[in-house]
Chain A
């Protein structure tokens, strides 16, 4: 149980284009979804937190107009990288939790999406 999927697993795009990444909780309803970015050989850095039906909360230094997050349902969140540039190339990972925000809530991670911007 508690499976999170991401689509696509890999995407290559040209500089200046927009890319949408989907994150789905397959067997549970996710009250909160998180988006992380991981550069090669580095740790995961939280980009934003989103709750279903409300605006995402972005971490400091993350441009909300560049990384658009939509959490339209309890099982789907999307991250759109707008006007992508080579420096946006990274591994994007989502996670989902179904708790009420307590200390024992577990985040279940998706398999990640490798974005390469040419």
Chain B
């Protein structure tokens, strides 16, 4: 299957710091999504990006769809303890009938109060 690589694999930051993580692929995707997963739970959608170059915010979260369609980044500003979790990017080719998501390797975020 498609491999989406996320970096960094894990982050330990102080509360209040900003966070940046990215996701790269060898293939083009038409949709990029960012999810957060907490232990023992399913992933929750944070931000969806549908257009190359698109920059979208959701509260303290900002994500961008790379112009090459092969990458995306997620920024979290002024982190708080409840931001702890695993952040996954996911890509979808987006053609009708091909709704499959390919998930990244994940970035584990720890916020130190």
The stretch that binds B, out of A71-79, A81-89, A106-114, is A106-114
B105 touches A43 (CB 8 A): yes
SS class, residues of chain B in contact with chain A: loop
List residues of chain B with CB within 8 A of the CB of A4.
Answer: 42
Task: Look across to chain A and name the residue whose beta carbon is closest to the beta carbon of B35.
Answer: A109
Among the listed A32, A44, A93, A110, which residue makes an inter-chain contact with B99, where contact means beta carbons less than 8 Å apart?
A32
Query: What is the interface residue range for chain B against chain A?
Result: 20 to 34
Task: Look across to chain A and name the residue whose beta carbon is closest to the beta carbon of B31.
Answer: A103
B40 touches A105 (CB 8 A): no
Query: What is the interface residue range for chain A against chain B?
Result: 20 to 34
List residues of chain A with CB within 8 A of the CB of B102.
Answer: 46
CB of A101 closer than 8 Å to a CB of B: yes
List residues of chain A with CB within 8 A of the CB of B100.
Answer: 34, 46, 49
List residues of chain A with CB within 8 A of the CB of B31.
Answer: 103-104
CA distance A59 to B1 in the complex (A): 9
CB of B104 closer than 8 Å to a CB of A: yes
| Chain B residues at the A interface, C-beta cutoff of 8 Å | 1, 30-31, 35, 40-45, 48, 50, 88, 92, 94-106
| Chain A residues at the B interface, C-beta cutoff of 8 Å | 4, 6, 32, 34, 42-46, 49, 59-60, 91, 93, 95, 97, 99-112, 114
Q: Can you list 21 contacts pairing A with B, beta carbon distance less than 8 Å?
A: A6-B42, A32-B99, A34-B100, A43-B88, A43-B103, A43-B104, A44-B88, A46-B1, A91-B40, A95-B42, A95-B101, A99-B99, A101-B96, A103-B31, A103-B50, A103-B95, A109-B42, A109-B45, A111-B41, A111-B42, A112-B42
